[in-house]
Amino acid sequence: MEYRPLGRSGLKVSKFCLGAQNFGIPGVTDVAEAERLLAASLDAGINVIDTADIYGESEAIIGDYLSRTGRRDDVVLATKFGVKGLTTDPNGKGGSRRWVRRCVERSLRRLKTDYIDLFQFYRFDKFTDIEETLGVLTDLVREGKVNAIGMSTFPPELIVESHWVAEKRGLVRFRAEQSPYSIFARAVEGHLLPTCERYGMGVLAWGALNGGWLSGAYRAGQPMPADSRAARMNIDVAHPGVQHKLQLVEQLTELARSADLTLPQLALGFVTEHPAVSSAIIGPRTVAQLDQCLTAAGTRLSLDVLEQIDKLVEPGTYVDASPGSCMSSNRGDSGFTAEPFRKPAQRRRPR
**One of 3, 55, 122, 218 is an active-site residue; which one?**
55
Of 202, 156, 209, 161, whose CA–CA distance to 336 is shortest? 156
User: Using CA atoms, how far apart are residues 281 and 32, in angstroms rounded to an integer?
Assistant: 21
The predicted model scores a pTM of 0.89
Of 286, 269, 291, 283, whose CA–CA distance to 49 is shortest? 283
CA distances from 161 to 20, 158, 173, 203, 339 (A): 30, 5, 11, 18, 18
How confident is the model at residue 330, as a pLDDT? 43
Amino acid of residue 188:
V
User: Using CA atoms, how far apart are residues 215 and 295, in angstroms rounded to an integer?
Assistant: 13
- The DSSP result for 155-196, as a single string, is -HHHHHHHHHHHHHHT-PPEEEEEEE-BTTB-GGGTTHHHHH
Amino acid of residue 206:
W
pLDDT by position in tens, the chain (length 351): 999 999 999 999 999 999 999 999 988 899 999 999 999 999 999 999 999 999 989 999 999 999 999 999 999 999 999 988 767 788 888 999 999 999 999 999 999 999 999 999 988 888 999 999 999 999 999 999 999 999 999 999 999 999 999 999 999 999 999 999 999 999 999 999 999 999 999 999 999 999 889 988 877 766 666 666 665 566 666 777 788 888 999 999 999 999 999 999 999 999 999 999 999 999 999 999 999 999 999 999 999 999 999 999 999 888 876 655 444 434 457 666 666 777 778 778 777
Q: Which domains are present in the chain?
A: 3-218+268-300 (3.20.20.100)
55 catalytic, yes or no? yes
User: Using CA atoms, how far apart are residues 329 and 224, in angstroms rounded to an integer?
Assistant: 14
Where does the chain have alpha helices with state H? 31-43, 58-69, 97-111, 130-142, 156-169, 192-198, 229-232, 240-258, 263-273, 287-294, 303-312, 339-342
How confident is the model at residue 328, as a pLDDT? 43
Helix, strand, coil shares of the chain, percent, nearest 5, are 40, 15, 45
